C-alpha cells in the first residue's frame, strides 16, 4: 500500500481510507457523489442548512395538526417559522409529497356496487314485519364528516393523495340509538401497511451510452403496472382494529337488549366493509361476534 500511495502522490493513510470507501460504497466511478453519500450516512445535508426543520414539516402534515384548516399565513406563526409564506409553500411541495392547501374531500354519491347490493337487500326484506323483525335489528355504520360545513369550499393542509375527514361510528335500533364515538385511521393500533411508491422514470447517467439508457427505459416501461379505474373509497381500518375498537360497542348494545327481553332474537346488521369480516367465517371479527 505504501508503494502505491507514494507513486500516486498520496499518503498511505489516505490510500487506506480510499480502499475502505471502495469496500463501503462500491465502484469509484461516481467520485463526485462521495461527499453526498458520506453526508447521508452521517445524517447531514450538503449546502446551506434548511430554514424550516424537516420535523416541523412532518408535524404540519399530520392529521393531529390543530391548525391544518387555517391559511398558511396563520400556520406559519403558530409553528414559529421565520420564512415567508412562499418559502413555506415551496418547502411543503419539494420536501413532502407535494403537500399544500388542497380542497377537503367530500362525497355526494353512492358507488354503483354498493347501490346494487342495497337494492337487492331491500327486495329480499321488504315484506318482513316491523314488529317481530325490524325492531330487533341493530344497524351499524361508520361515517366521515366535513367539520367546516357545506357553505364554503374548505381547504386543508395535506400531502398529495392524502384525504382527511372526521371518522365516527355508532348503531341504531327502532327503539334507541347508540352514542357517537370517534376513531382515527392514523391510530398506531390500526397498523395499516404503507402504500408502496412506484419507481420513477430512470435518468440517463453521465457516462452511460444511449443504447444502455434506451434498454433501461424500455425495461422500466415494461414493468409499469397496468392502468386501473380509480374509485372513491371510504375509511381504511384493519380487521383487528375494528374488532378491538368498534365492535365491542355494538356487542354491548345487543347484550343490553337481551337483558331487557331474553325471549327475542336480536341481529347485528353491518355494511360490507372488508374489516367487518362478514364474507368469511375464519377471521377475528366473525369469531368475536359468534362468541358473543
Q: Determine which helix (DSSP H) or strand (DSSP E) holds 252, and give its type and residue range.
A: helix 247-260
Q: What is the mean pLDDT of residues 226-237?
A: 54
How much is the pLDDT for 25? Answer: 67
Given this model, what pLDDT does residue 151 score? 44
Please check the confidence at residue 232 and state whether its pLDDT lies above 50.
no
The CA dihedral of 83, 85, 87, 93, to the nearest 10 degrees, is: 140
What is the band of 59 on the pLDDT scale with cuts at 50, 70, 90? Answer: very high
Lowest mean pLDDT among 10-14, 44-48, 57-61, 238-242: 44-48
Mean pLDDT lowest among 37-46, 111-120, 203-212, 215-224:
37-46
Residue 67 pLDDT greater than 80, yes or no: yes
Q: Cα(191)–Cα(241) distance, rounded to whole angstroms? A: 8
> Per-residue confidence at 163, pLDDT binned at 50, 70, 90?
low
More confident site: 156 or 163: 156
CA–CA distance, 115 with 109 (Å, rounded to integer): 10
Burial label for 276, CB within 10 Å (0-12, 13-18, 19+), is buried
Q: What mean pLDDT is predicted for residues 172-198? A: 77
pLDDT tens digits, one per residue of 234-270: 556 788 888 888 889 999 999 999 999 888 889 888 8
- Of the listed ranges 15-24, 184-193, 271-280, the least confidently predicted one is 184-193
Is residue 183 helix, strand or coil? strand
What mean pLDDT comes out for the span 159-174?
76
Strand, helix or coil for residue 262: coil
Residues 6+ apart with CB under 8 A from 276: 239, 242, 270, 285
Which runs of consecutive H residues, i.e. helices, occur in 26-158?
34-41, 54-60, 72-78, 85-95, 112-125
Amino acid at each position: 500500500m505504501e508503494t502505491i500511495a507514494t507513486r500516486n502522490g498520496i499518503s498511505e493513510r489516505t490510500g487506506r481510507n480510499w480502499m475502505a470507501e471502495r469496500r463501503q460504497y462500491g465502484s469509484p466511478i461516481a467520485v463526485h457523489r462521495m461527499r453526498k453519500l458520506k453526508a447521508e450516512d452521517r445524517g447531514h445535508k450538503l449546502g446551506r442548512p434548511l430554514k424550516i426543520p424537516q420535523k416541523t414539516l412532518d408535524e404540519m402534515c399530520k392529521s393531529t395538526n390543530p391548525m391544518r384548516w387555517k391559511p398558511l399565513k396563520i400556520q406559519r406563526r403558530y409553528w414559529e417559522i421565520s420564512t415567508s409564506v412562499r418559502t413555506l409553500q415551496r418547502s411543503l411541495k419539494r420536501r413532502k409529497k407535494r403537500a399544500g392547501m388542497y380542497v377537503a374531500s367530500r362525497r355526494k354519491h353512492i358507488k354503483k356496487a354498493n347501490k346494487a347490493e342495497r337494492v337487492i337487500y331491500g327486495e329480499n326484506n321488504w315484506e318482513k314485519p316491523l314488529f317481530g323483525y325490524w325492531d330487533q335489528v341493530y344497524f351499524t355504520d361508520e361515517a366521515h364528516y366535513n367539520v367546516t360545513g357545506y357553505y364554503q369550499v374548505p381547504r386543508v393542509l395535506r400531502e398529495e393523495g392524502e384525504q382527511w375527514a372526521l371518522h365516527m361510528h355508532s348503531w341504531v335500533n327502532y327503539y334507541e340509538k347508540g352514542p357517537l364515538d370517534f376513531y382515527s385511521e392514523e391510530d398506531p393500533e390500526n397498523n395499516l401497511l404503507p402504500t408502496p411508491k412506484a419507481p420513477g422514470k430512470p435518468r440517463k447517467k453521465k457516462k452511460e451510452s444511449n443504447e444502455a439508457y434506451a434498454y433501461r427505459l424500455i425495461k422500466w416501461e415494461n414493468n409499469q403496472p397496468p392502468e386501473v379505474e380509480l374509485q372513491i373509497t371510504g375509511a381504511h381500518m384493519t380487521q383487528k382494529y375494528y374488532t378491538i375498537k368498534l365492535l365491542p360497542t355494538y356487542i354491548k348494545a345487543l347484550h343490553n337488549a337481551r337483558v331487557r327481553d331474553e325471549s327475542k332474537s336480536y341481529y347485528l346488521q353491518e355494511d360490507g366493509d372488508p374489516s367487518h369480516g362478514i364474507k368469511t367465517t375464519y377471521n377475528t371479527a366473525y369469531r368475536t361476534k359468534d362468541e358473543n
